[in-house]
Amino acid sequence: MRPPALPTKSNSIRNMRCLWLTRKYPRPVNSGELIYSDGMIGSFAATDVSLTVIAHDNEESPVGDGSENSRFTDDQGVNWRLGTPRLGGRLKSLATGLPSDSYRLKNGGPSDALSQALTEEKWDAVVIDHAAMGWALEKLVSGRNGSRLPKLVYLSHNHEAKIRREIAKHSTEESLPKQLALKWDAEKYAKQEEALCEKVDLVTAITDSEVDAYRDKFSRQRYLTLTPGYAGKRFPDHEISDQTPRRVVMSGSFEWIAKRLNLESFLTSAAQSFADAGVELQIVGKTEESFRESISARFPTVDFVGRVPEMSPYLLDARMGLIVETLGGGFKLKALDYLYHRLPLAGLTHAVDGLPHESPEEILLMRTMPSLVREILAAVDDVPRLNRMSEASYRKCETTFEWKDRGRQLYEAIRDL
């Protein structure tokens, strides 16, 4: 769900002209990356800016005409310049210096749209939303004038160098050519991200930990932490009862290889223990049907629901929500879905970076998977404890994750440049 639109300001008082580069038109928002991009774009557009966004169209629900140069203005007055809704293949990227995602995102309209925008218009700032959009850096740097306008901002979603290398290292079940391709792609991602951190005027990160990781190598860069906001449904009065199914749920999008590796690792460690205890384990979220069928066959005691139109019925009909990623970093946006649905959260300590919760009265955290599974099974029937956790957790984050604050923070940081 996109953040609620704030009152539109008249163009006469919009005094910052900003160009924003993102991967695709982010609506419908059905993955963490799209939720973050959509939330940041919408909240930033509500400040004193005139905003133009270059992206590919969304293949699920296109808003353009399907060409490489279609235009669309949304209800907040954001001007979208959209390339084709379908991206090309990855194979040709192997012969280039670009990561496969960047190679695909550059083609099909956005590269030409950026050249046109830089030639025909003047911009105060350009936001590079995600490391995969780093293909644009060379054009942006060469297009600067003597006053160093426009200012450049790298809006990161993860510390890509770290994550991509981890994925390549742990993809041992892939074929040798695929493993080599992942390693090569990871190094190209790392090189591109480092160029962004070196040459832009401001780097944002989704958690303080990732700011620290960037600062280790680029100590003189300016940084800003922008944790996500939340624009979904809230259930402040929901309580778990003895009639709530003895079920724990794990939501998310399972299309990216890192998400699949995390899921498989967790199920290998936990599925049988949950089955032996008679506790239902339910996985809900977007994935390819072939993957859902394959992993269902491997773990027949687990309920793989797949993609659903509405997550609330599943979150309100469970006793705990899981954050169990062993690979990757960043902020797990599903954590906010759990918290605002009053669903107690259980996770690995390193997987919940960015949340303000620390006390066991608020959240169940363990350092290892076996200990986490053991503690979940011990807690799942303690209904009073679960409700105390959900109450304390909800109250702590009730006003913490507001998109309007994130857009204003970014606007003020760019203004201060």
Residue-wise pLDDT tens digits, 337-365: 999 999 999 998 877 888 887 778 889 99
- Could you tell me which residues come within 8 angstroms of residue 202 by beta carbon, excluding any fewer than 6 positions away? 151, 152, 153, 154, 221, 222, 223, 224, 413, 414, 417
Q: Of 166-180, 242-256, 347-361, which one has max mean pLDDT?
A: 242-256
Given this model, what pLDDT does residue 408 score?
Answer: 97
pLDDT for the residue numbered 144: 62
Would you state the pLDDT for residue 11? 40
| Residue 336 confidence class, pLDDT cut points 50, 70, 90 | very high
With a cut of 80, say whether residue 99 has pLDDT above it: yes
Question: How far apart are alpha carbons 135 and 98 in whole angstroms?
Answer: 7
- pLDDT over 90 at 171, yes or no: no
Range in 163-167, 186-190, 383-387 the model is least confident about: 163-167
**pLDDT value, residue 177:** 83
**What are 203's strand-pairing partners?**
154, 223
Section 233-252 average pLDDT: 95
Least confident range from 126-135, 143-152, 282-291, 293-302: namely: 143-152
pLDDT for position 328: 63
Q: What is the pLDDT of residues 24-60, one digit of tens each?
A: 999 998 888 899 999 999 999 999 999 999 999 999 8
Q: What is the mean pLDDT of residues 187-193?
A: 94
Residues near 362 by Cβ (< 8 Å), separated by ≥ 6? Answer: 389, 392, 393, 396
Q: At 109, give phi and psi (nearest 5°).
A: 130, -45
For residue 148, the model assigns a pLDDT of 55
User: Mind giving me the DSSP string for 196-219?
Assistant: HHHHSSEEEESSHHHHHHHHHH-T
- Give strand pairing partners of 127: 20, 153
Confidence of residue 13 (pLDDT cuts 50, 70, 90): very low
pLDDT tens readout for residues 387-401: 999 999 999 888 899
pLDDT at 14 over 70: no
Residue 7 confidence class, pLDDT cut points 50, 70, 90? very low
- 155/226 Cα distance (integer angstroms): 9
Residue 249's SS3 state is: strand
Q: Mean of the per-residue pLDDT values for the chain?
A: 89
Residue 19 has pLDDT above 50, yes or no: yes
Asked whether the predicted pLDDT for residue 290 surpasses 90, the reply is no
Please say if the pLDDT value at position 62 is more than 80.
Answer: yes
Residue type at 411 in one-letter notation: Y
Residue 404: CB atoms within 10 Å = 17
Domains, the chain: 11-229+402-416 (3.40.50.2000), 247-397 (3.40.50.2000)
Measured between its terminal Cα atoms, the distance across the chain in Å is: 31
Secondary element (H or E) of residue 39: helix 32-45
Residue 250: which of 302, 208, 296, 297 has the closest Cα? 302
CA–CA separation, 81 vs 118, rounded Å?
13
DSSP state letters, 122-191: --SEEEEESGGGGGGHHHHHHT--TT-PSEEEEE-SS-HHHHHHHHHHH-TTS-HHHHHHHHHHHHHHHH
- What's the confidence (pLDDT) of residue 403? 96
pTM (2 d.p.)? 0.88
Which of 12-21, 26-35, 175-184, 369-378 reaches the highest mean pLDDT?
369-378
